Structure 1
C-alpha cells in the first residue's frame, strides 16, 4: 500500500468548531493516508449496484407499502415478484416488526423461491391454486418453500400467510436484529444451504427502500424507527453501521489527493472500531512501510508509508471494507466471521499518519485494489449509516 499522512488533532479541533472551513478542508485533503492494495478477487457478487432505484430517497419510517400501485423497476425481478415482496413487507408492517426483519424476510424468500409463489408436483389437481412456477422440493410450497408442518397447502400458497409464519418464528430468535442475516434466516428455515441467504441482503435492502420509503436506512432506537443513525451498537435495517462516530476530516480522491481511496474519520486514540457489516475477515495484519519493514507498534509519521495495523472484511454483495491505522494488533484474524457492529480494533496512528484517526475504505466487486474503491460517504448514507458526522 502507498499511504500518505493522517490528520492532526489541532486540525480536527478547527474542523469541529467550523473555523476557516474552506481553508481547513483544503489542508485536510493534502494530509490523508492510504492508497490501494493488490487485487484480491473472490466469488459471490451481488446485484447490479447501478440498478438501485429512487436514488436520494428520503427516509420515512411511517411510510406504508402500496400493494396495488406501480412497482419500481429492478432488472433482477419482474412486477409479480415485486408485488410478492410488497406483501412480505406489508405483513411485517402490520405485525410491527422492525424494518430489519423485512430485509431478512425478503432475502430469505429471494433465496427460497426467487420471490415466486411456487407450487409442487404433488399438489392434487383439486388444490391447484394460482401459482408462479413449480419448485424443486417435493413437499415445499410458496414464497418461503415451507413444508407441511407450516400449514395446509392452501395456507402455504397464500403469500400473506407464509410471511406471517416466517415473522412469527423469526422474532423468537434471540437478538435477531443484531445477528447476521444468514444466522437468523437459517434458524427459521433450517436450510441445507445456510450461507446462501447472504448474497441477497444488499438487493433486499434496496427493494425495501424502494417499496417502503427508504426503510432500510432506519434503526430502532427506544422502539422507534430513526433514519440515518446507525453507528456503534446500532445496526440499520440494511445491516450496516458506521465504524465509529467521528465525521470525515479528509475526503475521497480529492483534487489535491486523487489517489486517496477512502476517507479519514475523526477519532482519538483507542476509539473502538466496529465492523460496518457482517462478513468474513480477509486480512488482519501490519502493512509494510516504504522500506518493507513491518513496524506498527508505535505511532507513524508523514512519509513513512503503509496502512499500519489494518483489517479488510468481505461482506455480502461482494463489498469489502478496510480499516487502517489501528493502535494495536487487530482483535480479529483472517477467516473469522464477524457480526455488524462487532469491535475489530482500536483507532490509532500506526503507519503513514501524522495523527490518530481511522482511514475507512469501501470496495466493490470483491476487488481490494484501487480499481474497486468507491466513495464511502454516499455508500454508507444509502445504508442508513452515515460516516460524515450528520444524521
Structure 2
C-alpha cells in the first residue's frame, strides 16, 4: 500500500518508522477486518498523537498581534485582528477554546467580524459592534460596545451562565447569548471559525482543556474544541480511494465486533437503515462477505455546515432513528460485519455540501485530523 503525503509535514522519524513497520498489518484491513486490526490496536498507545506532532493543540497560547495576520476565507487583516482580540479576551478570562469557536462564529454571523458602528436606517434596532449587542438591552454604552475587547468580554460573561455550553452546539450556545431572530444561522460558520481559531492559536480548536487546565490534544473518545471526536478508537487500514480501490469513498477502521460507535459531531440523523445487497435481499443481521454489496446496517448524520458522516457495517439495527438529534460522542451503534465485509470494522465516510453521493465524499483522515479527532494509522 502506498500513500501520498498531503497537508502538514510528516510526523517525527520514530513515528513514521513505526507506521512503516505496521504496513503488513494495514494490508490485512482492506474491508476485511481480521487479526491485523488488533496488532494496530495493541500498539496504538505507543504512537505519538499525530495532531501534536504536526499541528500543535494550542500549547503556545493565542497569537500575539502581528503587523499582518493570515487571511482566511473572506476575512482580511482587520477582521482577523478582531478575531484575535476575541480569542485573547477568552484566554484572559480562562474560557476554554470551545468558547472561542462559538464567539468567533457568532461574530461572523452578526458582523462578519467587523466592528460595526450604528448603521442608521439599516441598523437592527440599536445594535453595534462585533456582536451587534444593544445598549438598550443593558449590554453597555455604544462607545463601550464598539470596543472589541469589551464586547467580547460581555459575550463570554453571558456564555458562562448557560448550563452545558461547552458541550452545546454553536447554534444553541450562540442563540442563548444573542436571542437572535435567525437562530439557525450561526451553525454555518462553525467550520471557518474553527479554522480561524487554529490559525491564531497553534491549533487550539484541536485541543481539550482550558478554563484553568492546560491545553492538550484530544485523546481517543474525547471531544475537541472543534466539536468533533473519532467515531471509534483504532487505525485506518484501507484508505480513501486508493490505487487498489479507487471507488472506496471512505476509510476502514478495524475493531472487535461490538465496539461502540459514536457520532463524530452533533447533528441530525438522516438515514438509519439496512442497505440491501445487490440481489435485493435484506440480510444485515448476518455477517457479510466481499462482493455482497451494500453498507449493511448504516447511519448517515448531517452536521453543521452541511457536512455528512456515514457509518457502515454495524452489527445490528442502529440505536438511533431518522430525525433524531445526536450529540458528539453519543453512541449510535456497534461495530459489525454486515454488508460488503469479511471482518468486523467501521467503514467511515465524510461528505461535504450536503451531498450523500460519491461526488460529495472527501478523505475523512485529513478532515478529522484538522478537527483534532485523528483517525490513527496511515489513512
Superposition TM-score tier, normalisation by shorter sequence? 0.7 to 0.9
Q: Which residue of 2 aligns with 1:147?
A: 134
Cα offset, 1:165, TM superposition: 0.8
Secondary structure of residue in 2 paired with 1:66: coil
Q: 1:329 to 1:292 in 2, by over 3 A?
A: same
Unaligned runs of 5+ in 2: 1-17, 34-53
Residue 96 (1) aligns with residue 94 (2): yes
Q: Residue 281 in 1 paired to residue 269 in 2?
A: yes
Distance 1:95 1:135, change over 3 A: farther
Question: Bigger CA drift: 295-304 or 359-368?
Answer: 295-304
CA distance in 1, matches of 2:274, 2:224: 31
**CA shift digits 1:140-188 (9 cap, x unpaired):** 1111111121111111111101101111111221121111111111111
Instruction: Give the SS at the match of 1:83.
Output: helix
Query: Unaligned regions of 5+ residues in structure 1, if any?
Result: 1-16, 33-55, 123-133
- The counterpart of 1:114, out of the listed 112, 131, 136, is 112
The verdict on how the C-alpha distance between 1:284 and 1:30 changes in structure 2, with shifts beyond 3 A counting, is closer
Residue 336 of structure 1 and its aligned partner are, at CA, apart by 2.3
Q: 2:207 aligns with which of 218, 221, 227?
A: 218
Work out the CA distance in 2 between the residues paired with 1:111 and 1:366: 20
Residue 64 to residue 121, structure 1, CA distance change in 2 (3 Å): closer
Aligned to 1:252: 240
Asked whether the equivalents of residues 70 and 76 of structure 2 are also in contact (C-alpha less than 8 Å), the reply is no
The answer on 1:206 being equivalent to 2:195 is yes
Q: How many residues align?
A: 338
Structure-1 separation of matches of 2:123 and 2:274: 48
Which structure 2 residues correspond to residues 56-205 of structure 1 after superposition, within 5 A? 57-121=55-119, 136-148=123-135, 149-205=138-194
TM-superposed CA distance for 1:228, in Å, is 4.4
RMSD (Å), alpha carbons: 2.2
Distance (Å, rounded) in 1 between the aligned partners of 2:88 and 2:247? 45
Tell me, in whole angstroms, the C-alpha distance in 1 between the residues paired with 2:109 and 2:25. 48
Q: Is the 8 A contact 1:31 1:250 kept in 2?
A: no
| Contact 1:246 1:387 (8 Å CA) reproduced | yes
How far off is 1:135 after superposition?
A: 5.8
CA contact (8 A) 1:29 1:257 kept: no
Give the corresponding residue for 2:376.
388
CA contact (8 A) 1:141 1:156 kept: yes
TM-score normalized with structure 1 length: 0.81
Match of 2:22 in 1: 21
Are positions 1:349 and 2:349 aligned together? no
CA distance in 2 between partners of 1:22 and 1:236 (Å): 29
SS across alignment from 1:359:
strand
Q: Deviations over 1:58-78 (max 9, x none)?
A: 333232322243110123112
Tell me: CA distance 1:20–1:143, structure 2 relative to 1, closer, same or farther (3 Å): closer
Write the deviation string for residues 329-354 of structure 1: whole angstroms up to 9, x where unpaired.
11222222222112211111111111
SS at match of 1:291: coil
Report the TM-score, using the length of structure 2 for normalisation.
Answer: 0.83
More off after superposition, 168-177 vs 103-112: 168-177
From the superposition, tell whether residues 169 and 219 of structure 1 become closer, same or farther in structure 2 (CA, over 3 Å): same
2:332 aligned counterpart, secondary structure? strand
SS in 2 for 1:250: coil
Instruction: Classify 1:143/1:278 alpha carbon distance in 2 versus 1 (closer, same or farther; 3 Å).
Output: same
